[in-house]
Each structure stands twice: as structure tokens, then as C-alpha cells.
């Protein structure tokens, strides 16, 4: 079984920061890419950021590049999303997702990811 557990969400004022974490549990050793997605009320789930197994390749939604940073620590089986200068439009449930490195770089399309976490709520107030 594969389990992904997000944490770090919460309520923050506009301009503030949060760091989300996603801990991955696997039955056996594997290499995998990771992605972050979010879904706001009334909107479809959208791509936020992705990172390759080695951490050498990252990808961001254009509107988020410069404010959000994705990173990982494979020794801890954990991927992070540092979110700075948060705005109310960033309010959403944030999900981490796993893809078993079947492609060279971490994808940005939802259907390519095999496993998903339960999500963590991020709420940004004025």
C-alpha cells in the first residue's frame, strides 16, 4: 500500500507564509516524482508544482512561480511546499500526489499521478 499524508495547512493572514509537508509511506523502495495540486471552492483541481525524484527538476504554475517553492528530502520520504506572500485567492485544499517516475520529469497533469493524499486546508484571510 502507498500512503501520502499532508500537514501544515491552516489559517493565515494575507502576506503571510505556510510550509506544507507530505510524508510518503511505501511498501518497498521506489523512485517517484511528486506534485502539489489545489482545489478552491467552485473551481477545478489545478496544478501547483512538481518535483522529480532527484530534486533536480521542478515545475510551477506560472502564476505561482516566485512565491511558492517545492522541495524534497528523500531521506525523510517527505516533500514540501513553501508558500510565501499568500493571498486570499490561494485559499484551497492542497493535495500532494505521487507518480512512479514512469516519465523523465514530474508531470503537471492530474491523470498521470497514481496516489493522492487526503488534502490539507489552507485559508488566507484579509
Distance CA 25, CA 34 (A): 13
Which pLDDT score is estimated for 56? 94
Share of the chain above pLDDT 70, in %: 100
Longest dimension (CA), the chain: 44
Per-residue b or e along 54-77, where b marks 16 or more CB atoms closer than 10 Å to that residue's CB? eeeebbbbeebeeebbbebeeeee
Whether residue 1 has pLDDT greater than 90:
no
pLDDT tens digit sequence for 84-110: 999 999 999 999 999 999 999 999 999
Which helix H or strand E contains 113, and what residues bound it?
Answer: none
The region, left, alpha or beta by phi > 0 then psi within -120 to 50, assigned to residue 8 is left
Q: Give the sign of the dihedral formed by CA 72, CA 108, CA 23, CA 92.
A: positive
Whether residue 65 has pLDDT greater than 90:
no
Residues in CB range of 22: below 8 A, 6 or more apart? 4, 5, 6, 7, 34, 36, 78, 79, 80, 81, 96, 117
Amino acid at each position: 500500500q502507498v500512503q501520502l499524508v499532508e500537514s501544515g495547512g491552516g489559517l493565515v493572514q494575507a502576506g503571510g507564509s505556510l510550509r506544507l509537508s507530505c510524508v510518503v509511506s511505501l511498501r518497498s523502495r521506489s523512485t517517484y516524482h511528486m506534485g502539489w495540486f489545489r482545489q478552491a471552492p467552485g473551481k477545478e483541481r489545478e496544478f501547483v508544482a512538481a518535483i522529480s525524484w532527484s530534486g533536480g527538476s521542478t515545475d510551477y504554475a506560472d502564476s505561482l512561480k516566485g512565491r511558492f517553492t517545492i522541495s524534497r528530502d528523500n531521506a525523510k520520504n517527505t516533500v514540501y511546499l513553501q508558500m510565501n506572500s499568500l493571498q486570499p485567492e490561494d485559499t484551497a485544499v492542497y493535495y500532494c500526489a505521487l507518480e512512479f517516475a514512469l516519465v523523465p520529469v514530474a508531470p503537471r497533469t492530474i491523470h498521470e499521478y497514481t496516489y493522492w493524499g487526503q488534502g490539507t486546508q489552507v485559508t488566507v484571510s484579509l
